[in-house]
């Protein structure tokens, strides 16, 4: 499976998915599917976190914000954006973000 490391972390975290429009799954990919092969919007109520996980135009990126900030407002300017060189780096960051107790114990 493409993006297996990333999906493994997300599945372990038991997130609430709002949307997974990842183009890599398309049977007949469109032009946009090829440019946005990974695009997930998910939430963790436990961590009060909404996140966008993307591979868009060749850039791997995770954007996070707090759940109490309404989508599409200027307050989302307080979001945190992180970019990664590869899937392994992104998966490691997501694991640290979604399982803070594990990273503190190490």
pLDDT of residue 75: 58
pLDDT of residue 103: 58
Phi first, then psi: what are they for 54, rounded to 5°? -135, 150
Report, as an integer, the average pLDDT of 3-23.
90
Give the global pTM.
0.83
Q: How far apart are the first and last CA of the chain?
A: 29
Report, as an integer, the average pLDDT of 12-34.
85
CA nearest neighbour of 62 among 87, 82, 76: 82
Residue 105 clears pLDDT 60, i.e. is over it: no
Domain ranges of the chain: 4-105
pLDDT tens-digit map of 32-45: 888 889 999 999 99
Residues near 51 by Cβ (< 8 Å), separated by ≥ 6? 40, 41, 42, 43, 44, 62, 63, 64, 65, 97
């Amino acid at each position: 499976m493409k993006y297996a490391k990333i999906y493994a972390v997300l599945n372990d975290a038991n997130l609430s998915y709002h949307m997974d429009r990842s183009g890599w799954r398309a049977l007949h990919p469109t032009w946009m599917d090829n440019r946005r092969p990974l695009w997930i919007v998910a939430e963790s109520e436990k961590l009060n976190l909404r996140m966008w996980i993307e591979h868009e135009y060749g850039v791997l990126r995770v954007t996070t914000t707090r759940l109490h900030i309404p989508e599409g407002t200027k307050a989302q300017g307080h979001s945190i954006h992180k970019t990664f060189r590869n899937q392994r780096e992104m998966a490691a960051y997501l694991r640290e973000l979604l399982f803070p107790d594990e990273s503190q114990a190490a």
